[in-house]
């Protein structure tokens, strides 16, 4: 049977780095406060040229190069983003154009910080159904646009960037073993963007009840990780690497501990990237694979939770 294998990885980070100390000039905060509660030291912030389309395209080109595949061979592009440059054409269609791809299809998927897990699960479903033989799955985010730079409770947490993975159907064991998606719209008000274009009196900024998000993250991610292992008849000992969404080091550590993993088996980028939402997992994957940490045949567990609420996990063999 055909399975979806992860064959290419790429990422892009904006040139400008903003440290915690830099932020302390704008809002009443400190490096110590931010670092102790989140593990964040710095974040990358986009300039006007570093749009969602530009960064996603750069990440996709690197993933194609890694895999030794040509853009014109790509059947589908799934882009996870909550910060598109425009409502439509989709970010995915615009990246398709940047890559001069004329066949197949492209679509955006919006699931906030769970976006990459949702997009990869979608690509996997299309591959398993035989409708496509490969796909670019991209997370690209410009959260700096959604931040109220006078709100210290949110502006210190996020950064910009993009990551991409090329998945390919292969008649070979391994690859994506299973995906597990969940949402609960009834608690959407603990993390949301206030309004959209044309909505009266909307600020357009992120609003968050940090404590509630923290509580749900630990609970829901624990459940979904158990579900992923159980559905494959696996125990936590089978997992070589946790590649979590990078929101907060305390949530990441809690999940590593739950899985009985050593700190060295948990991929962490939140210290340098902060929370890049749907881009955080492919950014972390790219770094861990190019850095030689995750190796062929290793079992990796991806998990994320975000606004919606949405959450999910994917178990795969590299
Ligand atoms: N600097 C200094 N003080 C601050 C800052 C800051 N950047 N932010 C908040 N404070 C103050 C608050 O104003 C409050 O002061 P007060 O008591 O005088 O009103 C005090 O610190 C405590 O605020 P809390 O919000 O209760 O702080 P908490 O200990 O919960 O930490 C945090 C906040 C870090 C956001 C935490 O709740 C958390 O990690 N939540 C998870 C949310 C998350 O990661 N969201 C990311 C998006 S969702 C996702 O990707 C999963």
In this structure, what CATH number is given to the domain that contains residue 65? 3.40.47.10
Determine which residue's CA is closest to atom 13 belonging to ligand 1. Answer: 153
Tell how far CA 100 is from the center of its chain: 25
Residue 152 CA, ligand 1 centroid: distance in Å:
8
Residue 154 CA, ligand 1 centroid: distance in Å:
8
- 133 lies in the same domain as 202: no
- 114 lies in the same domain as 230: no
- 164 lies in the same domain as 181: no
Q: Give the per-residue pLDDT at 283.
A: 98
Helices 249-258, 31-38: axis angle to 10 degrees equals 20
- Report pTM: 0.97
* Whether the Cβ atoms of residue 305 and residue 245 lie closer than 8 Å to each other: yes
Q: Does residue 134's CB lie within 6 angstroms of at least one atom of ligand 1? A: no
Q: Does residue 31's CB lie within 6 angstroms of at least one atom of ligand 1? A: no
- 24 lies in the same domain as 164: yes
CA 254/CA 218 separation, integer angstroms: 7
Show which residues are catalytic: 113, 245, 275
> Mean pLDDT by 10-residue block, N- to C-terminus, for the chain (318 residues)?
96 98 96 97 98 98 98 98 97 98 97 98 98 98 96 96 98 97 97 91 94 95 96 95 97 94 96 98 98 97 97 98
- 245 lies in the same domain as 146: no
Residue 2 CA, ligand 1 centroid: distance in Å:
45
Range of the domain at 111: 3-172
- 41 lies in the same domain as 54: yes
* Ligand 1 nearest atom to the CA of residue 152, by list position: 7
H-helix segments, the chain: 20-23, 31-38, 52-67, 91-98, 115-128, 152-155, 210-231, 249-258, 270-273, 280-290
* Whether the Cβ atoms of residue 208 and residue 179 lie closer than 8 Å to each other: no
Q: Give the per-residue pLDDT at 198.
A: 87
Residue 147 CA, ligand 1 centroid: distance in Å:
15
Q: Does residue 191's CB lie within 6 angstroms of at least one atom of ligand 1? A: yes
Of 29, 118, 248, best ligand 1 pocket probe by most atoms within 8 Å of the beta carbon: 248
- 149 lies in the same domain as 209: no
Last residue of a domain, one of 172, 191, 216: 172
- 180 lies in the same domain as 249: yes
Last residue of a domain, one of 172, 202, 223: 172
- 37 lies in the same domain as 142: yes
Q: Does residue 247's CB lie within 6 angstroms of at least one atom of ligand 1? A: yes
Q: Does residue 306's CB lie within 6 angstroms of at least one atom of ligand 1? A: yes
- 218 lies in the same domain as 134: no
Residue 293 CA, ligand 1 centroid: distance in Å:
32
* Ligand 1 nearest atom to the CA of residue 211, by list position: 37
User: What is the number of domains present in the chain?
Assistant: 2
- 191 lies in the same domain as 144: no
Q: Give the per-residue pLDDT at 197.
A: 84
Task: Give the closest residue to 65 by CA, choosing from 135, 156, 159, 166.
Answer: 166
Last residue of a domain, one of 150, 172, 194: 172
* Ligand 1 nearest atom to the CA of residue 277, by list position: 50
Of 214, 274, 283, 304, best ligand 1 pocket probe by most atoms within 8 Å of the beta carbon: 214
CA 280/CA 244 separation, integer angstroms: 8
Q: Does residue 124's CB lie within 6 angstroms of at least one atom of ligand 1? A: no
- 206 lies in the same domain as 255: yes
Tell how far CA 105 is from the center of its chain: 21
Q: Does residue 152's CB lie within 6 angstroms of at least one atom of ligand 1? A: yes
Residue 149 CA, ligand 1 centroid: distance in Å:
15
């Amino acid at each position: 049977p055909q399975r979806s294998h992860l064959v290419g990885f790429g990422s892009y980070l904006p040139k400008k780095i903003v440290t915690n100390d830099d932020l302390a000039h704008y809002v009443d905060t400190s490096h110590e406060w931010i670092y102790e509660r989140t593990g964040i030291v710095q974040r990358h912030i986009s300039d006007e040229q570093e749009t969602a389309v530009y960064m996603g395209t750069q990440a996709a080109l690197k993933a194609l190069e890694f895999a030794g595949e040509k853009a014109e061979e790509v059947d589908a592009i799934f882009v996870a983003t909550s910060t598109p440059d425009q409502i439509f054409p989709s970010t995915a269609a615009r990246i398709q154009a940047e890559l001069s791809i004329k066949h197949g299809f492209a679509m955006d998927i919006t699931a906030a910080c769970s976006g990459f897990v949702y997009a990869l699960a979608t690509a996997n479903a299309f591959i398993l159904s035989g409708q496509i033989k490969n796909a670019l799955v991209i997370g690209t985010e410009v959260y700096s646009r959604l931040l109220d730079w006078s709100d210290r409770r949110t502006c210190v947490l996020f950064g910009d960037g993009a990551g991409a993975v090329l998945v390919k159907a292969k008649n070979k064991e391994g690859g994506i073993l299973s995906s597990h998606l969940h949402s609960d719209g009834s608690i959407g008000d603990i993390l949301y963007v206030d309004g959209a274009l044309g909505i009266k009196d909307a600020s357009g900024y992120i609003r968050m009840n940090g404590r509630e998000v923290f509580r749900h993250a630990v609970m829901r991610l624990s459940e979904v990780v158990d579900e992923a292992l159980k559905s494959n008849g696996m125990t936590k000992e089978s997992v070589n690497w946790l590649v979590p969404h990078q929101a907060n080091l305390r949530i990441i550590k809690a999940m590593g501990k739950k899985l009985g993993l050593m700190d060295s088996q948990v991929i962490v980028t939140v210290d340098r990237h902060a929370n890049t939402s749907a881009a955080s997992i492919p950014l972390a994957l790219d770094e861990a694979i190019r850095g030689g940490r995750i190796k062929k045949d290793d079992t990796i567990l991806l998990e994320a939770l975000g606004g919606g609420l949405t959450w999910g996990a994917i178990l795969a063999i590299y």
